[in-house]
Structure 1
Amino acid sequence: MGQQEKVATSLAGAVSEEISASLAPVDAELERRYPGDPGTRQPVHTVYVPADVLAADTVRSWGDQALDALDRHAPDAASLAAVLGLDDALAAPVYDRVRAKLEREPIEDLRVDFEDGYGTRPDAEEDAAAARAARLVAEAYRDGTAAPWTGIRMKCMEAPVRDRGIRTLDIFLTGLLDAGGLPDGLVLTLPKVTYPEQVTAMVRLLESFEKTRGLPPGRIGFEIQIETSQAILATDGTATVARMIQAAEGRATGLHYGTFDYSACLGVSAAYQASDHPAADHAKAIMQVAAAGTGVRLSDGSTNVLPVGPTPKVHDAWRLHHRLTRRALARAYYQGWDMHPGHLPTRYAAVFAFYREGFEQAAARLTRYAHRTGGDVMDEPATAKALSGYLLRGLDCGALDIAEVARATGLTRADLEAFALPRRADLTASAP
C-alpha cells in the first residue's frame, strides 16, 4: 500500500466559501448563457421548397427523384464511387445506405419557403398558401409521412415585409393548432436578420402567440438566418451574431448561413459566390465561436449548381456538392441546405462516407479511453466527448448501426451519451 502521506493545509475553510460566494453570479451566468449542446439529433440538411409547390407527397417525390437520378447517372456503387472519388472499401456500404436512406427518409428537415423562394404575392394568395401549408404539414405528421423536422421560413422583420411575415406565421401556427397541435419537429426560420432588436421582436411575437393560444412559455423556437454583413459585425465593432443569440432569450435553435445573400452583401461577384469563399469562411467562423456552448446549432448554406442535364454535367455538379459538403463536415458544420432532389444522393454519400471512414479509428480511441488501456494517442475528456459525439451523429443519420458500434467499442448508446453529454447523460439523441 505504501506509506500514508500526511495531508496539511494552510487556508481556512472560509476562504473557499468566500470565493464560491463571489463567483456565484458568474456560475449562474455560465449555466444560463452556455448550457451546452441539447443532446438531440441534428438534421444533416434543410431542404427548401417554395410554398406554392409544396404538395402532400413532396418528401416522397424528392426521394423518388433522387433515386431516379442515381439509376440514370450512377446505377451501382462502383460508378458513384468513381464520380466522387470514394475509396473502394467505402463504395458498397455508402451506396447501399444512400439508397436505403432515400427510400426510408429522403428529407430530414423540410422548410416551406415564404421568402425568396416564394416572392411577393397578393395578400390573399399568400394567406391561402400559409393555410394550405399548415394543413399539409399537419396531415403529413398524422399519417407518418412528414420529415422529422418541418416548418416555414417567413418573410423578415424589415419594414416593407414585416406585417406580411407576421401574418403568414400567425396563419401557419394557427392552422397547425386548429388541426391538432404543434408538431414536436416544428422549426421556424427568421431570415435576413441585421439587428438584435429584430430577434427580440420575434421573441415578443412568439410570446404573444403562446399567451393567446395558451401554450407553455418558450414552446416555440426559431432559427436565425445570417445573410448580411451587419449580422456578423455591428457598427460598433462587436459581433452582432453573439448579441442575437442572447436577444433570442433561449429560443434560438440554429444559425443558418445564407451563401448568396451574404456574398452579394459583401460585393462578391456572382461567379465566386460559394460556401467555400474566404468571406463565407470568415462569417461562419464568427458564427461558430458565437454559438459554441450555447446550444445553438450551425448550418452551412447551399450551392446553386444543380445536378440536371446530361450525365457529365450531373457528375460535375455532384462532385462540387460532395466536395463542399465534406469540407463543411470537416469544419464542424454538420448541417447544410439542399435545393434540388439531385443534391440528396451526394449529401448522404458525403455524410455517410465521413462517418464510416473515420469509424474504426474513433471507435478504437474511445474504447481505449473508456477502458483506460494504452495507445499511441493520449486522449482527454474533451476528446472523448468529441469521439462519442462523432459516433452519435453517425448513428443518428444512418451512416452507422448501433450493433456495429457496440461490437467495436463494447459501449451502449447510453455510454456514448454519457461521454458526449456528461451533464446530460439522460437525454436521448433521437429525433424530436
Structure 2
Amino acid sequence: MLDTVDTELRTRYPGTDGQAQPIHTAYVPADRIMEDTPSTWGAAAVELLDRHHDLLAELDSTGSLPDVRKRLAQDPIQDLRIDFEDGYGFRTDAEEDEAASAAGAVLATWAYTPYRPQSYGIRTKGLAVGERNRTVRTLELVLAAMVDVPAGFVFTVPKIRAAEQVPALVALCEGLESGYRLRAGTLRFELQIESPQAIIAADGTAPIARMIGLAEGRCSALHFGTYDYTAACGVAAPDQALDHPAADYAKSVMQVAAAQTGVWVCDGSTQIVPDTEPEAALRNHHRLVGRSLRRGYYQGWDMHPGHLVTRWLATYDFFRQAIDVAVPRLQAYLDRRSGGVMDEPATAEALAATVLRGVECGARTAEDLAARAPELSPAVLRALVTRAPIPQEVLS
C-alpha cells in the first residue's frame, strides 16, 4: 500500500529538474519586437541608471550598482515573451499572420546571436471561443518561421479558467509536434493565472494542482496576471497592484499548488513605469521586487526597459544579503555546530537553494563562494537541496 503511495508522490512532486529559474520575463508587444530588442532595452536601462545614479545608490544596500550596470550592458534580459495578447491587442488576421511569421524569424535568429535572452517564447491569445482559433494559428506560424525549436522555447497561455482547458493544450502540443516532426515533449507551456475561477472553482476546489497534473509534464511555470485578476475580483482600478491582498492570496495558492512539482511561479507586473515620474516609479518597483523575493516569488514580469534596473538591483541586494546569512549557517550545519541556530535538513535545503539561486543569477560568483566557503561546492549545495548524501570528504 505504501509503495503505491510513494510512487504517486514521487511522480506528482519530483522537485526541481536543476534548471535555473530566470529572475524575470520581459514582455514585448509583437509589433515592437526586433532582433536587437534585448540590447536596445539594455542600453535604455543603462542610460536610466546613469541618469538616476544617486537615487539608485541610495536604494543599493550591498554595493551592487556597478555590477548591475555591467549586467545591463552585457546581458540585460534573461527571459522574454513576444506578446500577442494584451500588449498587442486584436488585429486583422492578415496583420497578426504577418507579425507571427516575423516573430518566428526573430526567435530563429536568436538561436545564433550572442545577445539573445537565455530563454524566450511567445504569449498567445487565450482559449475562449472567440480567441482559440487565432491562438492556434499564431503558434503554428511562429513554429513554421522558426524551423527548429530551440531548447527553452515556451508559449504562455493567458486567462486560464478551468482545469479542463489544460488537456486541450497537451493535445495541441502533441499535434504540432507530429505535424512539424518535433521530438515528443519538445513543446512546453506556461499557464497564466488571472481569473478567480483558476484559484477557486465553482465546486469550491482549488484547480491549479489538477492543472499541473493534467499538463503531463509540459507546464513549466505559472504566471500571475495582476490587473485582470484584481479587476475580476472587483478591486477598484486605483488599488489594483501586486501587493493587494487579493493578489497575495492568489499567489499563495499558486505557490502551494506548485511546491515541489518543479513548476515555477512567476509574479505579475506593475503598470507604473519610469517615464513621467521616474524617481517614484524606480522606488516603487524596487520595493515591489524586494517584497516578492521575500515571499518566495523569484521571478516577475518586466514591461519596460526601466524595470530592468530595479529588477537587477533588488535581486542582487536580496541574494547578497541572503548569502551572507546562509553561508555561515551552512558551514555550521556541515560541521554539526549550532552557531547559535540549530538548523534542520529542511532549513539547510532552503539555505542551499538560496545560495544556488544567488550564484545562478550572478549576485555572487562561484569564485566568490569558493574563496569564502570552499566546502560549499555546487555539488554539495545540490546535494543539500535534493537531500542526497553529502560527499564524504566534506564531512571528514
State the TM-score bracket (shorter-chain normalisation). over 0.9
Q: How far apart are the structure 1 equivalents of 2:100 and 2:379? A: 41
Identity of aligned pairs, percent? 49
Q: How far apart are the structure 1 equivalents of 2:177 and 2:33? A: 27
For the residue of structure 2 that corresponds to 1:337, the secondary structure is strand
Within 5 Å, give how 1:419-430 maps onto structure 2.
Answer: 419-422=384-387
For the residue of structure 1 that corresponds to 2:164, the secondary structure is helix
Query: Corresponding residue for 1:23?
Result: 2
For the residue of structure 2 that corresponds to 1:304, the secondary structure is coil
Task: Tell me which structure has the larger Cα radius of gyration.
Answer: 1
Within 5 Å, give how 1:120-131 maps onto structure 2.
Answer: 120-131=90-101
CA contact (8 A) 2:345 2:387 kept: no
Query: Corresponding residue for 2:382?
Result: 417
Q: How far apart are the structure 2 equivalents of 1:301 and 1:79? A: 25
Matched, 1:396 2:363: no
What is the TM-score with the length of structure 1 in the denominator? 0.88
Matched, 1:153 2:123: yes
For the residue of structure 2 that corresponds to 1:143, the secondary structure is coil
For the residue of structure 2 that corresponds to 1:275, the secondary structure is coil
CA contact (8 A) 1:360 1:408 kept: no
Residue 424 of structure 1 deviates from its aligned partner by: 11
Provide the aligned length of Structure 1 versus Structure 2.
Answer: 390
Q: How far apart are the structure 2 equivalents of 1:49 and 1:232? A: 27
CA contact (8 A) 2:75 2:115 kept: no
CA contact (8 A) 2:199 2:250 kept: yes
Q: How far apart are the structure 2 equivalents of 1:81 and 1:73? A: 9
Q: How far apart are the structure 2 equivalents of 1:211 and 1:28? A: 30
Residue 81 of structure 1 deviates from its aligned partner by: 2.6
Q: How far apart are the structure 2 equivalents of 1:197 and 1:332? A: 28
Within 5 Å, give how 1:229-240 maps onto structure 2.
Answer: 229-240=196-207
Matched, 1:107 2:77: yes
CA contact (8 A) 2:55 2:279 kept: no
CA RMSD of aligned residues (A): 1.5
Within 5 Å, give how 1:298-317 maps onto structure 2.
Answer: 298-309=265-276, 313-317=277-281
What is the TM-score with the length of structure 2 in the denominator? 0.96
Residue 143 of structure 1 deviates from its aligned partner by: 2.1
Candidates 257, 260, 277, aligned match of 2:244: 277
Residue 119 of structure 1 deviates from its aligned partner by: 0.7
Matched, 1:142 2:112: yes
Query: Corresponding residue for 1:321?
Result: 285
Matched, 1:291 2:258: yes
Q: How far apart are the structure 1 equivalents of 2:322 and 2:28? A: 33
Q: How far apart are the structure 2 equivalents of 1:136 and 1:164? A: 20
Candidates 227, 233, 236, aligned match of 1:266: 233
Residue 122 of structure 1 deviates from its aligned partner by: 0.9
Residue 423 of structure 1 deviates from its aligned partner by: 5.3
Deviations 1:127-157 (A, max 9, x none): 1111111111111221222100110000111
Query: Corresponding residue for 2:38?
Result: 59
Q: How far apart are the structure 2 equivalents of 1:79 and 1:331? A: 25
Query: Corresponding residue for 1:81?
Result: 57
Structure 2 residue ranges without an equivalent (≥5): 391-396
Q: How far apart are the structure 1 equivalents of 2:163 and 2:322? A: 39
CA contact (8 A) 2:119 2:152 kept: yes
For the residue of structure 2 that corresponds to 1:52, the secondary structure is coil
